[in-house]
Amino acid sequence: MNAVVIGAYWGDEGKGKIVDMLAANSDWVARFNGGDNAGHTIVANGKEVVLHVVPAGMVQGKNVAIGPDVFFNPKTFFADYEGVLKAGFRVNGRILIDERAHVIMPYHIALDAGGEASGKLGTTKRGIGPVAKDKASRTEDITICDLVSPGLREKIKAVVAAKTAELVAVKAIEKAADAEKYAEAAYAEYAPYAEKIRPYVGSCAYELNAALDSGKTMLLEGAQSTLLDVVHGTRPYVTSSNCTAGGAAANLGIDLRKFKIIAVVKAYPTRVGEGAFPSELGNYEDAKKEKKGETLTAAEKKNAVDGDQGLLGKWIRQDGREFGATTGRPRRTGYPDFVALNYSAMINGVDEWAITKIDILSGKPLKAVVAYEKDGRKTTRFPFKLEGWKPVYGNREYFWNAMAESEIKAAVAKGYDALPGGMKEYIRDLVIATKTPVSMVSLSPEREITVTKDVLKRTMEYLR
């Protein structure tokens, strides 16, 4: 099966696990967007691996490709690679890095950390915004092709010279006269990477299309998610690349008609940083103060069940370990949002949902957004400017008790019908609201604890 795997909300849905699972039956896994501002966590064989640039298929020993619209940090790439090896996995497949991919340089990170916009937008300060600006400018960008070319030193010098005033402004260098020394230091750091990367450099468009033509199977792995897409997301609080399924085709130069589109939807939405979040539980200021590993008392859990949304949001955040794999920042949590998911299904042409972290909602009451309201107007469309819109919830409340380990194992073995009734009610309403069936339900970060038997069959029945 050829498939595109994308996220449905604002990221952190567990795409790494789903790609890792599907990679078992794929020849290639290609990353098509983003940079090391994303983190995909994989739990397999009792070990956890967090990947930021390397496609998740490497853990399965598959051929992996990094596409031309990926913002490539070589230091992070090799850290990912070493992390896979240290976790005990073998790197058996081929590695392909597209010659057109743009390289994150030290000055991109300095400009991101010191820039005014990064604070307002809550960026990860990994240099993504500045490298994307260079890509758009077309004259100050450094590609993988440039990185492995004999003219790298002169190219870096020219770009640093053009950016001297900016680098002084953010205190990356003290004065303009230091620019040449700064450029030499950047070259000295990156020249060794160039030699190590050289054997992997090629063209994804040619290599991947040739693989498809020869009958090889392929996964296209997205970073971030639909509502962070630079075009279709909740601007200005978005990333700098195309995160939708259409972006996979455009970025890699591949015919999307050959692929099934699977969107990973976490059972509850989360959001990192600023930006409107209609179904948010509690508020971001309180979330910022939380530390990973905090526990709720029995009294606090009772209050959450009785309607304290702030405590319910904290409970979900702590049980779901909702702290960024890349930044460590607490993620904001919210009630399920069927309006956002219907929009995501529409613009991506989603064929199937893969639901993750639904186990985290066990024992917690929830409801779902079915419309938005603002100034007396109601809409079921996802607004371009989301600020000020309030959630309108459906009449149904969902609840199910936590599944015992024996019940989880039984559900994996027996299939969809063995899931709790309240969970299936929630899944049914999600499917009907989005007109899209579900093909898998994850009950744990571990690869093996996923229900697939009869899931697609049963959820397609909801649409008849």
Three-class DSSP category at 262 = strand
Q: Which helix (H) or strand (E) holds 210?
A: helix 204-213
The Cα 57–Cα 64 span in angstroms is 6
Specify the residue for token string 């994303």: 38
Indicate which residue of 12, 20, 319, 337 is catalytic. Answer: 12
| DSSP letter for each residue of 55-73 | -GGGGGT-EEEE-TTBEE-
Q: How far is residue 275 from each of residues 43, 160, 284, 307, 313, measured CA to CA in Å?
A: 30, 33, 10, 24, 17
52 belongs to the catalytic site: no
CB 127 within 8 Å of CB 36: no
Count CA atoms closer than 13 A to 238's CA, side-chain side.
Answer: 21
Say which residue the tokens 């497949």 belong to: 93
Q: What's the chain's Rg over C-alpha atoms?
A: 22
Angle, alpha carbons 438-440-445 (nearest 5°): 135
CA distance 272 to 323: 9
User: d(Cα 271, Cα 269) in Å, to the nearest integer?
Assistant: 7
- Distances in whole angstroms, Cα of residue 46 to Cα of each of 18, 199, 232, 237, 448: 16, 32, 37, 36, 11
Q: Is 20 assigned a catalytic role?
A: no
Strands 438-442 and 450-451: antiparallel
DSSP class of residue 438? E
Residue tagged active-site, from 20, 27, 36, 40: 40
CB-count exposure of residue 375 (10 Å: 0-12, 13-18, 19+): exposed
Element containing residue 161 per DSSP (H, E):
helix 152-162
Which tokens is 7 given?
């996220």
How far is Cα of residue 430 from the mean position of the Cα atoms in its chain?
21
Q: Is-contact 100 119, C-beta < 8 A?
A: no
Active site residues: 12, 40
